[in-house]
Amino acid sequence: MIAKLRRKFVLFALLSVSGLLAIILVGINIANFSLVASSSDSITAELAQRGGEFIPNNPGEGGNPIRPDRPDSPDMQKSMRYFTVRVDGTPTLVTRSLDLVSDTEALTWAKEAATKGEVGWYRTYYRFRNYQKDGATYVTFIDASRELSPSFNVLNASLIGGGVGILATFLLLLPISKILVRPTEEAFRRQKRFVSDASHELKTPLSIISANNEIQEMVTGETEQTKAIGKQVKAMNSLVRNLNALAKIDEVETHEFAKFDLSFACSEIAEGFRKKAEAKGLSYEAHIASDLVYKGEEASIRMLFSTVIENAVKYGQSKAEISLQKEGDHVVFLATNDAEGLQEGPLEMVFERFYRSPEARASGVEGSGIGLSMAKEIVSAHKGRIFAWGEKGIFHLKVEL
């Protein structure tokens, strides 16, 4: 239980940190690449206005000097790597200042880009724009590799930094989780010790009460009072046994798992309840597949079968049925019984400790509400799943191992 709690804490904390890092780093990189795209689009827009090529301006025309970082500045024009293709009819190369791309490649790229929207990226590093000019369709490409290079460096640094950050967080969380769950671990130990000690201390007075009750019956004969005392002593002894069993269910790592004949174990326990079911007048059926082998703690699994079958027989009104079958990679154990006043749908509350439904309490059937919670602990220790639900007056309890 404590190990599972630590794993959950580390997992949730790691997911939270990873999610936060992902949001920050993704946001930074999206903004970074968006700025490059926006800058490239302003340049292709300038080229579109000029017919697909830079036409030198007169610096200072109108009394305003041209800034070197503007698309229409001479410095920008000299450093820009671009080409423009008119794609109407037979594609024609209008202008090219990009030596890395041949004329044939430029025409092929333009035909492909002409079908991909107004603006976009082509082959990662090239930004293109489709536009109309003087009744003709043009495609202009610019090489944005120099502008993208810092962005990719930031992306790589983000991936490496994020990975290192997640790893460092994981290594840091391991000792922190141990410290944080220590109070819970201590409380759990005290609870187990209390349950164990209380169960042990209750045995002596129960034995004395039972012995005195038997002596009283020998002297005065059985009376309503002695019968009531005997009944309550029996119920208390059952509760003490269940509490002891619940306290002894440790974490999964402490279990000694071994392969055993699951079919035989289930059949043996099922047959043990047949007489009790028949004495109650129940229709009792057991469908158990043969030759099923399972790796687990046999004593715990036998206790699981006994608890679930006893529950079906105890609360069954006219019938109880169990089955054990192989389904895919799992072994499925199913117990059903009819019941009065049963809720429809999932009944997860039946696995809570000391829970008993109002109908069960009103029925007069003795019980402590410990059995199914103990069954859930056993299933969890074996990394299985357990479900309970009501459907048309039938209580279903399913275990997947």
Instruction: Residue 202: name the closest of 239, 231, 229, 228 by CA.
Output: 239
Pick the more confident residue, 71 or 363. 363
Provide the 10 A C-beta neighbour count for residue 296. Answer: 22
- 6-20, 50-64, 115-129, 364-378, range with the lowest pLDDT: 50-64
Reported confidence tier of residue 63, pLDDT bands at 50, 70, 90: very low
- Residue 240: the pLDDT is 76
What are 312-349's pLDDT values in tens digits?
998 888 999 999 999 888 999 999 999 887 888 888 88
- 149-163, 166-180, 211-225, range with the lowest pLDDT: 211-225
pLDDT surpassing 60 at residue 251 = no
C-beta of residue 324 within 8 angstroms of C-beta of residue 315: no
Reported confidence tier of residue 70, pLDDT bands at 50, 70, 90: low
Place of tokens 């109407």: 88
Tokens representing 77 are: 């024009």
Reported confidence tier of residue 56, pLDDT bands at 50, 70, 90: low
pLDDT surpassing 70 at residue 298 = yes
DSSP state letter for 374: H
Reported confidence tier of residue 252, pLDDT bands at 50, 70, 90: very low
Instruction: Residue 33: name the closest of 163, 158, 149, 161 by CA.
Output: 149
The pLDDT of 10-26, averaged and rounded, is 92
Alpha-carbon gap, residue 139 to 345, rounded angstroms: 63
Task: Summarize the chain as % helix, strand, coil (round to 5).
Answer: 55, 20, 25
What are 83-130's pLDDT values in tens digits?
999 998 889 999 888 778 899 999 999 999 999 999 999 999 999 999
φ/ψ of 283, rounded to 5, equals -80, 115
Q: What percentage of the chain carries pLDDT values higher than 90?
A: 38
Tokens representing 36 are: 């490059």
- Residue 288: the pLDDT is 92
Alpha-carbon gap, residue 327 to 253, rounded angstroms: 26
Q: Which amino acid is at 209?
A: I
Average pLDDT of the chain to the nearest whole number: 84
pTM of the model: 0.57
Q: What percentage of the chain carries pLDDT values higher than 70?
A: 87
Instruction: Residue 231: name the closest of 197, 255, 201, 206 by CA.
Output: 206
pLDDT surpassing 50 at residue 178 = yes
pLDDT surpassing 60 at residue 297 = yes
Alpha-carbon gap, residue 132 to 139, rounded angstroms: 9
pLDDT surpassing 60 at residue 68 = no
Domains of the chain: 1-55+67-180 (no CATH), 183-247 (1.10.287.130), 254-400 (3.30.565.10)
Reported confidence tier of residue 71, pLDDT bands at 50, 70, 90: low
Residues β-bridged to residue 82:
142
Tokens representing 166 are: 């997640």
Alpha-carbon gap, residue 350 to 348, rounded angstroms: 5
C-beta of residue 94 within 8 angstroms of C-beta of residue 52: yes
- Residue 328: the pLDDT is 86
Alpha-carbon gap, residue 26 to 394, rounded angstroms: 52
DSSP state letter for 66: P
Reported confidence tier of residue 66, pLDDT bands at 50, 70, 90: very low
The pLDDT of 51-66, averaged and rounded, is 58
pLDDT surpassing 50 at residue 42 = yes
The pLDDT of 355-362, averaged and rounded, is 66
- Residue 331: the pLDDT is 92
The pLDDT of 362-371, averaged and rounded, is 66
Reported confidence tier of residue 381, pLDDT bands at 50, 70, 90: confident
